[in-house]
Structures are given as C-alpha cells and as structure tokens.
Structure 1
Amino acid sequence: MKKSASRNRLDQMYTEAFQQNWESLLFTDYGGQTSTYGEVANQIEALKVTLKKAGLKPGDKIAIYARNSSNWATVFFSIMAFEGVVVPILPDFTPENAHHILEHSGAKALFVADSLYANLNKSELKGLKLTISTDDFRILNGKSKSSDKSAIDPSLKVEKENFSFPERGDEDLLILSYTSGSMGFSKGVMLPVRSIESNIIYARENMPLKAGDRIVSILPMAHIFGLAFENLFPVSLGCHIMFLTKVPTPQILLKALGEVKPHLILLVPLIIEKIYKKRIVPSLEKPAVKVLLAIPGIRNLIYKKTRKSLIESFGGNFHEAVVGGAALSPEVEAFFRKIEFPFTIGYGMTECGPLISYAPHDETKKGSSGRLVDRMEVRIDSEAPYKDPGEIQVKGRNLMLGYYNNKKANEQAFTKDGWFKTGDLGITDEENFIFIKGRKKNMLLGPSGQNVYPEELESRLMNFPFIQECVIIQRNNRLVAKVYPDAEMMASTRTKEEDLEDILEKTRRSYNEAVASYEQLSAIELVDQEFEKTPKKNIKRFLYT
C-alpha cells in the first residue's frame, strides 16, 4: 500500500478541516436541519461503531441509495473514515437497477431513503449485513440488539483533538461509481484515493473558495461531478453546504440561491439554458427593447442591466459559475460571454474523478472546455491535433484504476501504450485548451450529466409491440425515439395507422415508468422507411442524430 507524506493527503485535509472548523456550520438541508463540523464528527464516530458491530470491515463496499441531504453527505464521510468503499447509486435508478448494482459490487451494507427502500425486493437484500435509513438513521435490517433502533448512539462523543480520518494508500479503492444500472451495460468505475485527492488539491489551488464560504448543492452526489465539487472540495476547506433535498426547478433553485448567496455555483447546461430561454430571451424580445438594442450605447446599458439582474438572481455573492456535465448551447454561451457573466465551462468524466480540463472565467477561451489540468496529460488521436478533431485521450493522476470486474471494458478503454480513450472528439491548442467537437461513441449525456446509452434504451423499447426498429436521439436535451412500425403485426391485428399514434403514446408512458427519469422519452416519432444499415445490419446512427 503506497502512501505519501510529502503532499497534502486526503486524510490530512479532512482531519484539519473538521478540527479547525469544529464549531462552524457544515451541512444544512434547505428548510431543514443544520449540523456543525463537530456534530457531524460525532455522527461519523457513531456510524463507524455501528458498521463494526454489524461485522463490516475496512475495504467492504457500502452503498448509498438516496437523494442529496445532510445525512447522505454524513454517510459518505463515515464510510471514508471507516476505510470502506462508497458505492453511490443514483436515486433515479429503478429498483431493478439498484439490485443489480448491489449484487455486482458485492455491497455489504446499504444506506437508503425510506421512499426508495419501500420499492426494493427485500428478499434480494439478504446478502447485506446492515441496512440503514438515510431519513433518520434507523436500522432497517441487520445485526443489532433490539434496543439499538438507531444507528446513531447520542451518548458517543468525540473530542476535537481526538477526531481524525485514517491514512489510506494512493491506490486504495475509495469510490465505486456505476455509469449505468442495467445488467449487461454496467461499468463500475473504480476511483482510488489518489484520484479524489488529486481533484480536490487541484480545486483548492485553482477555484475561489475559503473557509466559511457557502455552497448550494444542486447536482446529485451520486454523480462524481456534484460529489467532488459541491461536497468533497468545499468540505476540505471548511465551507458550509446547503442541500436542495428535492430535484430543483429553476424557480426553487433561484429562490435558494437568493437566500443562501453562495460563493461558488455549479450548474448543468439544462438549468442555465432554461433561465436564458424563460427569463432573458422574453425580456429582450419585447418590441421596445429590440429597438433599443439596435443602438450601440443603449445596447451596452441593457446588457449591463441584464448581467446585474442575472447575478443578483444567483445570489449576487458568487465568484463564478462552473458549467459542466454536458455541452452548453453555443447560443447561450455566446450571449453569456457578450454580457460578461462570470461563468466557465469545465470538462470531465467519471473515469477521471472527474476533472480533465478547467480554466477560471477570466482566463478561459470561447468555445473551449478549459485548459488541461496540471496533473493530467492529453493527446488527440489526429495527425493535426490543433486543427483536425480526433479522439481525446488522457492519462495522469486523476485517472481511475479501471472498471470493476469488467475485463472486456478495461481492454477497450485503454490504448496499448496506456492512454485512456475518452470517446470524445476534439482538438487542443498550444496552451492545452480543449475544444470538444462531438462524441466518438453513441453515449449521450443526460440533463444533469448522467450517462445515457441509447442502445440499452432501444433494446428495452424494442420489446414493446408494433415496433420493428428504433433509434433514440437527443433533441433540446430531451430523448426522442424514432420508430419504424412493425407492419406485419399491424396487419395481423388489423391495426389502422390512425390508431398507431395512440398505441405508441401508451407505449411511451409504460416505457417511462420502467426507466430512470433522465432516460425517459419526451416523444415517439414515426418514420415511413426502414433505417439505413451497414453491411453488418447495424443502423447508420449518424444519419439520424
């Protein structure tokens, strides 16, 4: 087990953060409970005792299946302090998905929201030594005395100077993050201590936060983007994190930002695009305003007023907004740059824990996803990497150990000389700024950065009647299925074409009930010809996306 004493270690950063900010606020549920660093430390110690009593050991995998909350974050740090492996499960995953991840990962314990636990098949949880509610830390199932109804013993207290996180090796597995929940498509990304530590150190050196600053946690912590930069990074500095415990609408989000006045904001494109289209565009398209925009001096005043209003709506106190997880509309990016809104676009992948590139808003370049981070290397699989797009390939300290129990995926993910193949197409420039041009593979990104695999969804949709072929595409951040109907079945059942739309609408609803929210279809559209195919009978997807 390789350890390092020459730099800021992960355990040192968190031990110092808790000890130095013991009385300061750490976690708050929006409209709910608040805990200090010291109070969370006591909960961590109590949960460690409960895990040990249940027979768990360091290195065991422990899953979290819940929406963002103070308790979710407390559980994460408890597992880390116990020297366990965290297995985050997106709350959008269906019970079937969750069961598959629990089985594939070999999880020994589960922390789960009551609402999600109610839908799990309890007979399939027998391999777990312990199941605990994230709502209130009740022990739902496992080895405990009848009097031990709570996983938190309130009598357990720890003194500030005695609280610490254990040192772990660079290559020790810390997080096992699944990019999909379905059997046959699962990829358990193994993120070691080194990767998380490297991402946090980079953020501490390059992103504008300090002890006492406030953060609103918007993105799902079961996704590495939200976990790393709305939780792990700010906690390492002594910040105060406010959790939106429900999926935020733009209205709820702006209300929370206005009240909390955070110092750093992380956004996915869907949110910022909705704000642009629903709030900014309507005001700028009023007849009188359009006339004034044609006058250069007045135009600048209107843009300054728009910028000021937008900054105030985000709380008016932030250093910058970081957009990541998916591609931002060029139209929106161009407008926000025109009004000099302080935002930047980053690029990353779960496999890099997640950061690959970033640059502060006052240093970044138009159309780029930031500059390669200084602990990574990049190359473009192209003879002219500054001009002709090629696959973006990376290696470095942020990179994963590999995919868990998936030899084939590991062989496909790396080049023979050890570079990780991102599947993205892009170019770089002389300063190592990365410009993404598209995806090499077919994977799509959901509205909050979730991985969406169209082949997986198409296979599911093809199981429904009246569908002979289908292609799922992304349009305006929504999934749409193009369907060529099964003419033979229509004939045998005497189904008329005018009835088919109603049938497929019912199919869409049934399909949506069986998949995660970000995998749901907004529409099914009929096509009147079979999809064009390759000699191997694969649909030429590029013709339809």
Structure 2
Amino acid sequence: MRESSTEQVARIDDSVNVTDGVLALAEHAPEHPVYAVRNGAGGWLDVTISAFLEQVRSVAKGLIGLGVQPGDRVAVMSATSYPWAVVDQAIWFAGAISVPIYETSSAHQVAPLLADSKARMVLIGDDQLRAKVQSGANMSGGKNSGTEIYPIASTADLEEIAANGNTVKDATLEKARSGAGADDVATLVYTSGTTGKPKGVRITHRNLAEGAANIVPFASDILGEGESRTLLFLPLAHVLARAVQLICLHRGIQVAHTGDTSTLLDDLGTFHPTWLLAVPRVFEKVYHSAAAKAESEGKGRIFNTACQTAIDFSKALESAAAGGRGPSLGLRAKHALFSRLVYSKLLDKLGGEVTHMVSGASPLNPEIGHFFTGIGVPVQEGYGLTESTAPITLNIPGATRVGTVGLPVPGNTVKIADDGEVLLKGPVVFAGYHNNEEATAEAFDEEGYFRSGDLGQLDEDGFLTITGRKKELIVTAGGKNVYPTPMEEKVRAHPLVAQVVVVGDEKPFVSALVTLDPESIRGWTQRNGLGDLTLSEALKDADAAKALEAEVQKAVDAANDEVSRAESIREFRILDTELTEDSGHLTPSMKLVRGKVIEDFADTIKEIYS
C-alpha cells in the first residue's frame, strides 16, 4: 500500500480557536475537575474547570495590563507544571501567540528563538532561569535586550501578574480572546534542530483544536471518560505534551503535573493515573530497572521467564486479533501465574490503575511494546512531528500492531513517496515556518503533502512503520543502504546499553558507538563478582571491561541476526561518557543529535576504520 487515510469525523468553524473548547466544558460541567495540584501533605487537590478558567482570565487580564496585544509573542520557559497550563491558556485568552522554550536550553539556544520570534515577554518557571533568558536576549543583537521577564513558579507569581489587570474590562478580554480564528497562529514551536538550525513551526488554532476534536473519538478507549486521569511529566515545551494537555482539557480528563522525574514513582503512587504518556526511553528504563532489581535479589531467572511469557502472550493475542491462533492453554496458565507473582507488582509501581500507555517522539523497541502489553498495560505507539502538531498516526485498542506506529488519525493521510519518504497531509499539518518562506516551500511537495524526512512503509491495512530518517541513511563504500534506527533499537534493548549510534557512511563496513547506563553498571558488576564499580571504574578495570564488551557483543549479535552481513555491525567502541541533553547529544525528547555525536567522536570513528 502506498497511501493510507482515515475519514475525518469532526470539523471546526473558521471562527473557532482553542479557547472555545475550554469555555464549552466550563458551561457544560462547571465543577468538573480538570487539573490536580499537590496539597503539601503528599496528596492532591482538585482544580475544577470553573476555578481554572477564573485563574486563566485573571492572568490574561494581567498580561493585557502589562501591554500584551493580540498577535504578540509571549515565550514560556518552565518545567512541566500547573502554572504552565494556566499561562498557556492565558496567553491565548489575551489574543497572543505562545513560544515554548525548554527550561534546559542554554543562553545560546534561547537567543535565536527570542530573536526570530521577537517575543516581547518571557514567563519563567524558576527565577534561576532569569540570567539565562537575559543573556540570550542580549545575544540577539539588542533586538530583545528589553524583553520583560516574569516568574510563574507559584500561585503567588500568577497573582502578581494578574494584579496588573485590575482595570482591564471583561469586554476587552473577550475581544482579545475571540479575535483569533481557526487559521491564525496559536503557537510558534521551534524544532529541536537535530540536523540544523531550529525553525519556528507555525501551529494554528485549527491544528490544535481540530486535531483534538478528531483524536478524542478515535482514541476514546485510551483516554477514558468520567474519572480518567493522567500524570504529565514530559516537557510542555514539546508539542506532544502540549497537544495531549489540550486534548485532555477539551475532553475533561484530569491532569496532574510533575517536572521532577525523581518524584515520579511517588507521584504515580498517590495520583493513580488511568493512562500515561511517555517517550520510549522511559519504558526502557522501567523494564531494565525491574530486570536489574530481580537480578540483585537472585530472581533473575524467574523474571526473565516472566518477561518472555508476557512477550509470547502479547504476540499470541496479536495473532488472534488477525484471525490466527491465540494463546495456548499452557501459555495462559503460565501467564496467570506470573500475573500474580510478577506483573501485579510492576502495575502497582505505575499507581495500580493504569490501563493504557502511549509512546511517542521516537521509535519504541517492539519487544518492549510486547512486554508491557503482555503484563496488562498495552503501549499504544504513535507517530508525529512538530510540523504535524504531534500525533498524526496512532495504534488504538482493537487496531494495534506492535512495531508499527498505527493508523492515521481521522482527517489525515499518510503517503509513501517513491524513495520511501513519509508524506503527510491533514488538519494537523502546520501552516509553514516563521520567517522562512524558502524552508516552507521546500517542506511541501507539488500536491501539498508535507515531506516528513522520515522513511517508512505501509502494510496492507494501512498501518505505518517508520524505518529511519532520510538524512540518516547510511550508504557504505560498497553501495549498501543501511537504516541505522532498527539496528540501534535492537542493541539498546540490552539493559546495560544507554545509547547506540550506528556509523559507516562511505566506509567499508558498518560499526557502532555505544554508551552504557551508569545506573545499571554498579549492580551488574556486583552480581558478576567484579566489585562495586562505577561506569568509569568498570571501563578501566581489565576484567570488567572485557566482560562488558562481551555483554555488548551479545546485543550486537542479536541485532546482526536480523540483517544481511553487509548491513551488520562489524565493530563497536564503548565510550567512557554519557550522551545527554547537557552534552548536546540528545534533544529534550531524548532523540539523538546524530551529527553532533559523529562530530565529537570523530577520532574514535577514525580509529575504528584505521
């Protein structure tokens, strides 16, 4: 199949913007809880839609009182939090355009965003960010040196902003709120720049609101109704988290926030979400941490058997859904046993009430997907980019194929070009790049499809599989095309492996750079009689280094079993470092900045091929 579409189920009027969905919910169910905030005693307080809306209006009036005009850009640089949710809507109520900035961004990264967007104001979630923002504003050639900065870390900060709107009339606010139409820009979201300079993606009110209106009925079994809750911990500067937050607000799903992942397990245990959104690395960490704990307690063999049972059970269920044979009686019996002994404990770690999880932002290893499905919490993998307002395809209950990223969300079309590139069209596809007509023209083909830059395939039923990035395709000296992503996923499935970068463009064979997970190393060296060693110590110890290399070789061999010899990884090097966001090698959504890795470790790559 070369093209897959799903019929659109909802359309919005040209006069509608994202704030209308908030008003509609408030009118329909004014006391419905839409957010939850910590109560200071380890619990949570409900925030009703009416209370939220009152706070949004007050802050919006404050922004207007501070001089914000319709069409102005207001930047937000903050960790994921409830105040972020308030100011996001308040900016729209004031008729302005929001510009999210990752709180982890450096001053050098902030500077071009402020310069390109011409943001007149920056709202910061932590006063420590002030110097970074001011430095970035000064770097932008004086264009933003007068940028106003206001904190939004607490309710008191929001009230301080709101106090500036005491003289702003309701009619003035309503005129600002209702001024933007469906096709006006709602937010400028800058791409992470894994392959070049970040570009400002113009996302319209239609992209957000019509996207939400179509995905809600499509994913209703995941989202749930009534008492549905989710804990949001992805950065709200990422379009996926913000799109999901808006979907929840329009649907009436209660959202709690945590910007500190060190408290995530405690927050899951007290808030008890019914579904979760995460990136693949989170699912990998949960899986590998559980495996490492079992090993340290001498239960590694039991856990491994339980894992394989879960994977086999998931695959059997998938086979049955496709008309094949389902789980055998023996497999059902083993699965029931491990449900009591192993799986229930893992589900308790997630808060005990999670029924579905959604994975996005980067590819999920199919084995990890089958594992979670097998223990009772299916991972519904989806696909999207900043330019598609995040989710444009999704696996849903009753229409799931692990290893694919699902079917198009209603109203959208996925097409595969002759060279394998994934092309996208629909109401969620962006309006173009800010101040960059040349890049906008290059981004669309003659039929109006967005060129995603990803390579993929559609099966006979329209499910999309992403095979890699077009710009990351490796062509060896022998002319063999190699897609690095599937190989990297397979190697990264090993619990000791953190990141993998497959290289070999114009080289005689394929090789890889591997980094290890520091959290897993210490327990592994202890269990294997090598001492209590850190990652650095283990790589310097001859016996430990040799044993680690053998472990990585097992992962490489498993990956090589699935490809031809010409595509196989012949050599690898373990790096004595981590690839992190701080080092510039990962984006905030945990995607590899491949060019940066290859540039910084050029000497290691050269040594491999010398």
Alignment TM-score, normalising by the size of structure 1: 0.73
Superposition deviation, residue 232 in structure 1: 0.6
Q: Does 1:46 align with 2:77?
A: no
**Is the aligned partner of 1:131 residue 2:166?**
no
Alpha carbons of structure 1 residues 476 and 375: separation in structure 2 relative to 1, 3 Å? farther
Native 8 Å contact 1:505 1:524 kept in 2: no
The residue matched to 2:606 in structure 1 has which SS? coil
Per the TM alignment, residue 181 of structure 1 is displaced from its structure 2 partner at its CA by 6.9
Q: Is 2:311 the partner of 1:275?
A: no
Q: Does 1:374 align with 2:404?
A: no
Task: Work out which of the residue numbers 213, 217, 242 in structure 1 matches 2:232.
Answer: 217
Choose from 184, 188, 191 the match for 1:172.
Answer: 184
Tell me whether 1:323 sits opposite 2:368 in the alignment: no
Tell me, yes or no, if the aligned pair for 1:94 and 1:515 is still in contact at 8 Å. Answer: no
Match of 1:299 in 2: 334
Which 10-residue stretch deviates more, 334-343 or 285-294? 285-294
Q: What code does the residue aligned with 1:98 have?
A: V
Amino acid at match of 1:109: M
Q: Which residue of 2 aligns with 1:245?
A: 259
**1:410-489 paired onto structure 2 within 5 Å:** 410-442=440-472
Q: Work out whether 1:512 is the aligned partner of 2:583.
A: yes
TM-score (norm 2): 0.66
Tell me how far 1:100 sits from its aligned partner. Answer: 1.8
Letter in 2 for 1:133: P
Change (3 A) 1:59 1:291: closer
In 2, distance between residues paired with 1:8 and 1:304?
48
Which residue does the alignment assign to 1:14?
22
**SS of residue matched to 1:402:** coil
- Determine the structure 1 residue equivalent to 2:436: 406
Which residue in the other structure is 2:81 paired with? 69
Q: By how many angstroms is 1:423 displaced?
A: 1.1
Q: Which whole-Å CA distance do the structure 1 matches of 2:451 and 2:416 have between them? A: 10
Shift of the alpha carbon at 1:419?
Answer: 1.2
Matched-pair contact (CA < 8 Å) for 2:63–2:165:
no
Asked whether 1:115 is paired with 2:128, we answer yes
Give the AA of the match of 1:240: Q
Q: What residue in structure 2 maps to residue 385 of structure 1?
A: none
Q: Which stretch of structure 1 is more off in the superposition, 203-212 or 89-98?
A: 203-212
Distance 1:309 1:515 in 2: 32
Q: How many angstroms apart in 2 are the aligned matches of 1:509 and 1:268?
A: 15
When the two structures are aligned, how many residues end up with a matched partner?
467
Partner Cα distance (1:375, 1:525) in 2: 45
Letter in 2 for 1:132: Y
Query: What letter corresponds to residue 31 of structure 2 in structure 1?
Result: E
Distance 1:289 1:69 in 2: 36
Alignment RMSD (CA, Å):
4.3
What CA distance in whole angstroms lies between the structure 2 residues aligned with 1:359 and 1:509? 29
CA apart distance, 1:80: 1.1
Structure 1: state its 5+ residue gaps: 141-147, 383-388, 455-470, 479-497, 499-503, 533-545
SS at match of 2:237: coil
CA distance in 1, matches of 2:200, 2:516: 29
Equivalent-residue separation in structure 2 for 1:214 and 1:430 (angstroms)? 35
Q: Which residue of 2 aligns with 1:198?
A: 210
Identify the range of structure 1 (122-131 vs 263-272) with the bigger mean alpha-carbon deviation: 122-131
Q: Deviations over 1:290-319 (max 9, x none)?
A: 689898565323443333333332223234
**How far off is 1:201 after superposition?**
0.8
Q: Tell me, what secondary structure is at the counterpart of 2:583?
A: helix
Pick the structure with more helix per residue.
2
Distance verdict in 2 for CA 1:156–1:308, change over 3 Å: farther
d(CA) in 1 for partners of 2:458, 2:181: 34
How far apart are the structure 1 equivalents of 2:231 and 2:375? 24
Identity %: 23
Q: Is the 8 A contact 1:97 1:181 kept in 2?
A: no
Q: Distance in 1 between matches of 2:182 and 2:517?
A: 38
Query: Against the structure 1 CA distance between its residues 43 and 138, is the aligned structure 2 distance closer, same or farther, given a 3 Å change threshold?
Result: same
CA contact (8 A) 1:41 1:158 kept: no
Q: Is the 8 A contact 1:11 1:168 kept in 2?
A: no
Match in the other structure for 2:394: 358
Q: 1:226 aligns with which of 232, 241, 253?
A: 241
- Per-residue CA deviation, residues 180-211 of structure 1 (Å, 9 max, x unaligned), is 37996021111011110122112321223335
Letter in 2 for 1:407: E
For the residue of structure 2 that corresponds to 1:362, the secondary structure is: coil
State how far apart, in whole Å, the 2-side matches of 1:435 and 1:36 are.
40
Over 3 Å counting, the alpha-carbon distance change for 1:54 and 1:316 in structure 2 is: same
Distance in 2 (alpha carbons) for counterparts of 1:301 and 1:511: 44
Question: Could you say what secondary structure the match of 2:123 adopts?
Answer: strand
Establish whether residue 37 from structure 1 lines up as the match of residue 45 from structure 2. no
Distance change >3 Å, CA 316–CA 410, structure 1 → 2: same
* Structure 2 SS opposite 1:14: helix
For residues 447-495 of structure 1, the C-alpha deviation after alignment (integer angstroms, 9 at most, x for no partner) is 9xxxx9x9xxxxxxxxxxxxxxxx99686899xxxxxxxxxxxxxxxxx
Aligned partners of 1:100 and 1:182 also within 8 Å: no
Gaps of 5+ in 2: 1-10, 310-329, 474-483, 490-498, 502-510, 519-539, 541-574
Instruction: Determine which structure has greater relative contact order: mean sequence separation of CA pairs < 8 Å that are 6+ residues apart, divided by chain length.
Output: 2
Counterpart residue type for residue 286 of structure 1: G
